[in-house]
Amino acid sequence: MREHRENDIKVRESSIDQASPASVSVAMTEVLQQSELIYSAADVQSAISQMAEKITICLRDQNPLVLCVMNGGAFLTQQLTLQLKFPLEMDYLHASRYRGQTTGGTLDWVAKPKASLEGRVVLLVDDILDEGYTLVAVREYLKSCELSALYTAVLVNKKHSRKAEPDWLPDFVGLEVEDRYVFGCGMDYKKHWRHLPEIYAVKE
């Protein structure tokens, strides 16, 4: 019975764009119910507070430009900047490889920053460092903009050996997860559940 239900959910997920709103709601709710809680909301907030403390020490006198990588970075950007009690500016960019899927595709630039970048100290904020191809492309673009300095912050670093730049890590990392598909806190499952305050892993 359980195997039949899980197969049924997978079928509905595979055609999620064609499903009715009610069917999507049922399917996504069952995905959440069957997923494993990896980090509680308290765990996440504690990690973000520690990141904020380190960023404050590093950037409090730099008038940084905080660049949110949409859509995933919105959660961390909002939660993080609430705790940064020093002058800063904010902007966003939008580049994605996933396009609502669970595996990566080609890089898609939707929007580049509107703020002037030359000579600025920039803090780039994203949800997760997975393989990192999106962050690599974004970082390369920003490096070409003659910044004064570039820092990167992610809520989650996923541990595996498929990194685009194996020897690089963001300057500020909140949490680490094993090589599983995770969602919540800005990370989505088929465009859903970014708004969750906890982090879940899809059961394999």
Catalytically active residues are: 130
For 57, the enclosing helix (H) or strand (E) is helix 41-59
Q: Rounded to whole angstroms, how far apart are CA atoms 82 and 144? A: 30
Query: DSSP character for 192?
Result: B
| CB neighbour list of residue 171: distance below 8 Å, 6 or more residues apart | 58, 151, 152, 153
